[in-house]
A and B are shown apart, each in its own frame.
Chain A
Amino acid sequence: MLHIVNKSPFQNDSFISCMAHAAESSTVLLIEDGVFAALKGSNVADHLSKAKVIALQSDVSARGIDANLAEGVELVDYAGFVDLVADNESVQSWV
């Protein structure tokens, strides 16, 4: 299953709720302000290990945090985003 989070974890609890529900086999895609959840050393960084976490490259770069990402966070472009949606039978946006 693919979970999509578009809110900063410092704005509301979408990311925390998502990680609490996501199975270990799930993939969590961070887009828009959601990419802030991928920051290294933040107070939500512990949650990153609960599932596979991927961030949208363009939104990471737009926020200038390329060099500050936690280890293990992968990056995709929009084509990769499309592949993730196609490869996962269900997709949930944590809007």
Chain B
Amino acid sequence: MKFSIQVNEGPYQHQSADSAYNFVKAALEKGHEIFRVFFYHDGVNNGTRLASPPQDDRNVQQRWSDLAKEHELDLVICVAAAQRRGIVDDGEAERNGKDATNIMDGFRISGLGQLIEAGIQADRLVVFGD
């Protein structure tokens, strides 16, 4: 079955960033397909590569990236939410005159249309967060 996931909360702030990851991992282990994971609101903070959590803690951003690499996941960050919170890729850096990027490997920045499409294309859309 095809699942899409919406993540509305940032890492280390709200458990739903962990819940969403655990759900996606369990779904993949059961042989389901993840059509897309859409990061919205504070959820975009799951996609920075500049975080350095303590070594004995989970690295929320890195493990999304690793999972995406392993399973070719489509991890999409909402562009408007990203601009407000300073999540930047090459295109956004150029467009907004920023001197650096911080997007994590495996993530891409796009628009809300990607969430709508995720809802249409998948059999189920599961929302995590407040």
Contacts and interface: CB of A to CB of B under 8 A. Distances in A.
Please determine whether chains A and B interact with each other in the same assembly.
yes
Interface of A: 4, 6, 31-33, 58-59, 77-79, 81-83, 85-86, 91, 93, 95
B108 interface: no
Taking chain A's interface residues, is the majority helix, strand, or loop, or is none over half, making it mixed? helix
A12 to B, nearest CB: 10
Interface of B: 1, 3, 8, 15-16, 19, 22-23, 25-27, 29-30, 32, 123-130
B81 to A, nearest CB: 16
B26 A32 contact: no
A85 B123 CA distance: 10
Contact of B30 (A4, A32, A82): A82
Contact of B19 (A6, A79, A85): A6
